[in-house]
Amino acid sequence: MSPEPYPVVEKPFGKALAVLGERFPELVVVDADLVRATDTAEFRSRFPSRHWNVGVAEANMVGIATGLALSGKTAFCGTFACFASQRVCDQAVLAAYCHAPVVICGVEPALTSGSNGATHQGMLDLAIMRAIPNMRVFEAADATETSSMVEYTLLHPGTTYMRVPRAKAPVILDPDTYRFEAGRAVRLRDGADVTIIASGIMLARALQAAQALAAEGVGARVVNMSSLKPIDEAEILSAAQETGCLVTAENHNLIGGLGSAVAEVLASRARVPLVRVGVQDVFGEVGPIDWLADKFGISSAHIARAAREAISLKANKGRPVQA
């Protein structure tokens, strides 16, 4: 089942850069031979002197962005999420250590890079980036949030890693009212039995799962946790208190991403069951996203199943149910 009840916007990330480039002259962009994936061609044609393509040299891309950022610029640089993290970890550390306003953008994260297969499916980018001090880590859920996030990093400069969609993205959040803010989660649906915390493409799936659960008489709260770091601890703790169990849903390896981040908050603050939906520490393969989501356990059906499991764990006071 594919979550497609939403209108679609073309290239929200590239559009945001091109539009905001006018208002923020300090905005510059560095690419590494993937303008076609980062959707920066429009920015490049509007602001040719503020765009550089350094070729297949991701480390150099982040290093150059750091130099630009230490000269008064907010320097966006991007490539596929796998390369924007794995290939540039130490360069990202230097940018963060220097407090340089470098915004590293990982496009087509994890299984959304479906047709490219395992080498191109960045499933550990959030784990890598979350572990870097002074690094903010965001993941946009839709077109609205993508442009709002870009604007936020310009209004509040700082070293940032953000996951952004390539090409098309759905519109889930209201572009007239929604404003992204670091450290603030947003509740999209309320329910008393379980809370599903999702980020990125998993938000649409979480909403779909909540709908399916509602048909069974289960009330699921859905929270968009687009700021993984800083994370909205209050929202996690109130969900734990008010719904008694949690599910996390992420398009990422289960080690180090959203589920881990939520578990870190719960570990010392609340004793409630948490069931994490994500990729089970395996490499991906080629395939359309919905097929991959089914195969690798991150479909809306998997979220709904996890929600039922979390609720039964709650009923059993955290002890696993005997099969």
Partner 1 sequence: MGETPAIAELKAMCADIRRDIVRMIHAGGSGHPGGSLSVVEILTALYFRVMRIDPHNPTWDGRDRLILSKGHASSALYAVLARRGFFPVENLRTFNAPGTTLQKHIDMHRVPGVEVSSGSLGQGLSVGVGMALADRLDLRDRRVFVVLSDGECQAGQTWEAAMAAAHYGLGKLMALVDHNRLQTDGTIAEIMGISPLEDKWRAFGWGVRRIDGHDLEQILDVVREAEAEPAKPQVIIAVTVKGKGISYMENSVPWHSHPIDDEQLRLALQELDEAAKEMVAP
Name the residues that contact partner 1, by CB under 8 A: 28, 49-50, 52, 54-55, 57, 59-60, 62-73, 75, 90-91, 93-94, 97-99
The distance of closest approach from Cβ of residue 65 to partner 1 in the complex, given in angstroms and rounded to an integer, is 6
Closest approach of partner 1 to the CB of residue 189, in Å: 43
Q: Which lies closer to partner 1 via its Cβ, residue 41 or residue 57?
A: 57
Least Å distance, CB 91 to partner 1, is 6
For the bound state, the minimum distance from the C-beta of residue 15 to partner 1, rounded and expressed in Å, comes to 23
Residue closer to partner 1 by CB (options 87, 302) is 87
The smaller minimum CB distance to partner 1, of residues 49 and 177, is found at 49
- Name the β-bridge partners of 279: 253
Cβ proximity to partner 1, 91 vs 227, nearer residue: 91
**Angle 233-243/258-269 helices, nearest 10 degrees?**
70
CB of 49 to partner 1, least distance (A): 6
Nearest approach in angstroms of CB 61 to partner 1 is 8
Cβ-based nearer residue to partner 1, 63 or 191? 63
Nearer to partner 1, 46 or 187 (CB): 46
